[in-house]
Structure 1
Amino acid sequence: MKNSNRKDAIVAGVSLIIMALAAGYAYGYVQNSLVVVGNPAATLTNLNSATGLFGSGVIGWCIILITDLLVAWSLYRFFAQVDARISLATGVVRAVYSAILAFAIFHLVGVWQMLFVANQDAVALVNLVAGFEKYWWLGLILFGFHLLGLGYLSLKSNAVPKWIGWLLYVAGLSYMAINATKAIAPQASDAIAMAEMILSAPMAVAELALAVWLVWKGGKSKR
């Protein structure tokens, strides 16, 4: 059982770290450097001049999707001994989020395909990018519920440091509040940007802290 727990911890921890790196590249670098908000023509020009870069970003999103599914399964197994029902529910919520993310990624695949046709429509292309972000944001509301479940399981566990559990709670509530506001009141973009700037640290650090702990200590026997 201990060996199995250790294996699940390593799979989850390594997958979370790979996911964070892929997200930093695919969204933080590729998408933010190519997509010009409110300017379809400039976005189309950027994408046409960097089709390879955009394609690598789509691959990055596919890596994120695969690691998300690995995390959902391995964390369910790891925390099942703490509370089997909550662990299962938490894993299912992340799997549903992954399904929504997959649907969102199809929009980016559509953008990629449009870059190779003769008559390109800048507005239609930007609408696909906006569709990706809309569905991703909706999925991130569910992702926030997943983090709340992880926070509960971490606090109930005798092994995970309590501060990680509380940090997961803060991150979960932050994801839910910010992305629900994006969906309900997109006109409040300035307030959303300010909230993201303030809450970005706990949102990013929570899962990374859990990932490092899982790789370092997760599932090891106490000595």
Structure 2
Amino acid sequence: MKLRTLSVIAGISYLIIFFAAIFANFFVLDSIVKEPLLTIQNDHLMVRFGIMAFIITVVFDVVVAWALYELYKKNILSGLSTLFRMMHAAIMGVAVFTLPVALTLTSEKEILNQIDLFNIIWLIGLFFFGIHLILLGRILKKPKLITISLIIAGIMYMADTGAHILLHNYDDYNSIFLALVAIPSIFGEMALSVWLLVKGGIS
């Protein structure tokens, strides 16, 4: 397959992940956290679509991992980077298995416990995703602003997971860590997806 085609596949897959994750996180999970029982009972179809959106992100995570590996397999770090992204996808897949159970629950506490379980598993996966982003930044080398953003985002993902585990009062710093992760990751990954679509694979 041509490098340009692989780059376009990776870019489109990144955009699908981005929009599916926004819907699943900010429209579905946030609604469940705010009104657990009401959302599960009255908006169960939206919740089911949210679960499907998470499954879609896992599928296209694997597609991105494959496409990026094929694009940069001459780099010695490419295989390692791919493995860490695949680890993230696998862990995320396990996390998604916890969500359909929430549809069967009738207690707000039980529903929120199930969402917490999902978040904990996902959080561990993001640690490995952070390593992938750091390695990807080293592999790409240019555009410089994108590679720096990816490396910073990777470090922040790892730091956030570590803080969740190590700090007993993490909630006091939650908004700070959210900003530290969100800003470089949204910019870096969105910019990368656009660059892959427009210029990636062109010698």
Scaled to the shorter chain, the TM-score interval is over 0.9
Aligned position for 2:91: 100
Structure 2 distance, partners of 1:22, 1:32, is: 14
User: 2:8, 2:200 within 8 Å by CA — same for their partners in 1?
Assistant: yes
Aligned position for 1:146: 132
Query: Among 154, 158, 161, which residue is 1:172 paired with?
Result: 154
Instruction: Tell me how far 1:109 sits from its aligned partner.
Output: 1.8
When normalised by structure 2's length, the TM-score is 0.94
User: Structure 1 residue 43 and structure 2 residue 36: aligned?
Assistant: yes
Query: Among 70, 75, 87, which residue is 2:78 paired with?
Result: 87
Q: Mark the runs of 5 or more structure 2 residues left unpaired by the alignment.
A: none
* SS of corresponding position for 1:35: helix
User: 1:5, 1:219 within 8 Å by CA — same for their partners in 2?
Assistant: yes
User: Structure 1 residue 130 and structure 2 residue 116: aligned?
Assistant: yes
Displaced runs of 4+ in structure 1, greater than 6 A? Answer: none
Q: Which one has a bigger Cα radius of gyration?
A: 1
Letter paired with 1:170: I
User: 2:160, 2:181 within 8 Å by CA — same for their partners in 1?
Assistant: no
Structure 2 distance, partners of 1:198, 1:93, is: 21
When normalised by structure 1's length, the TM-score is 0.86
Structure 1 distance, partners of 2:133, 2:168, is: 24
* Mapping for residues 150-165 of structure 1, pairs under 5 Å: 150-155=136-141, 160-165=142-147
Aligned position for 2:186: 204
Q: Mark the runs of 5 or more structure 1 residues left unpaired by the alignment.
A: 37-41
Change (3 A) 1:126 1:177: same
User: 1:94, 1:143 within 8 Å by CA — same for their partners in 2?
Assistant: yes
User: 1:19, 1:68 within 8 Å by CA — same for their partners in 2?
Assistant: yes
Letter paired with 2:156: S
Q: What is the alpha-carbon root mean square deviation over aligned residues?
A: 1.5
